[in-house]
Amino acid sequence: MKLTVCNGSPRGRTGNTEIMLNHLLAGFESIPQNVSERFHLNRVKDHPQAAEAFGRAEAVLIAMPLYTDAMPGLVMAFFELLQQYQGRANNPRLGFLVQSGFPEAAHSRPLERYLEGLAERLGCPYIGTLVRGNCEGLRVAPAKRNRRLFALLDEIGRDFGRSGRFDPALLSRLAGPERFPAVVTTVMKPLLRIGVFNSYWDRMLKKNNAFDQRFARPYREES
């Protein structure tokens, strides 16, 4: 199988999406005669080339981070280029990977439903969506801390490389907790109030000169 992969992370080759793809594709390409080509959608000038590759592909995987419960804008821009293939016969099989910093998989499910609908509108056989939360630290944590995740991604890649589909049981294992049980949230709420979990995000906000705007509501309608 030849798999065309589009990495929709604005961080491109330095992001968490790329790390996950590296392990997934290592498993996929461990199956003889499986190969992949990869495009990075943060290189907007390469969008037409990636769209052309989509048109001739056997199977396509589009990966992205979850940004405020939606996809990055550059991914939506790329999707608009795929309209030319809508309803065409012999469109590629299409799957997705959505990763986020949220620990609960439930945050990614609305986007997953949108992506499944997108595959249907394009007329592409849908092969599933990999969902994984709690991924923001992948690029800074030691690899050994995430060895189980990486081993699972490798397993999913190998299984997909053999069967041409994503195994729902493996996707369920990857997703982790759908929602935390009530006892966990009860413990977490006071810790959230004192900022125990905010230190990393606060550093990112300060790094990007956005800390003072962290409670801004630009779309709030004034009463």
What CA–CA distance (Å, rounded) separates 182 from 179? Answer: 9
Would 65 be classed as within a structural domain?
A: yes
List, run by run, the mean pLDDT of 10-residue segments along the chain (223 residues): 97 96 98 97 97 97 91 96 94 97 92 97 96 91 92 98 95 92 71 73 88 84 66
Domain with 189 in it: 182-213
Identify whether residues 79 and 147 lie together within a single domain: yes
Position 218 in a domain:
no
Under DSSP, is residue 134 helix (H, G, I), strand (E, B) or coil? coil
Q: Are 180 and 142 in contact (CB under 8 A)?
A: no
Number of domains present in the structure of the chain = 2
Statement to judge: residues 166 and 203 lie in one domain = no
Contact 157/25 with Cβ under 8 angstroms? Answer: yes
Neighbours of 20 (CB within 10 A): 25
Are 159 and 202 in the same domain? Answer: no
| Structural domain includes residue 219 | no
Q: Is residue 28 part of a domain?
A: yes
Which pLDDT value is given to residue 217? 84
Query: What does the pLDDT read at residue 223?
Result: 57
Task: Check which CATH number belongs to the domain holding 48 and give it.
Answer: 3.40.50.360
* 136 and 186 within one domain: no
Q: Is residue 221 part of a domain?
A: no
35 and 79 inside one domain: yes
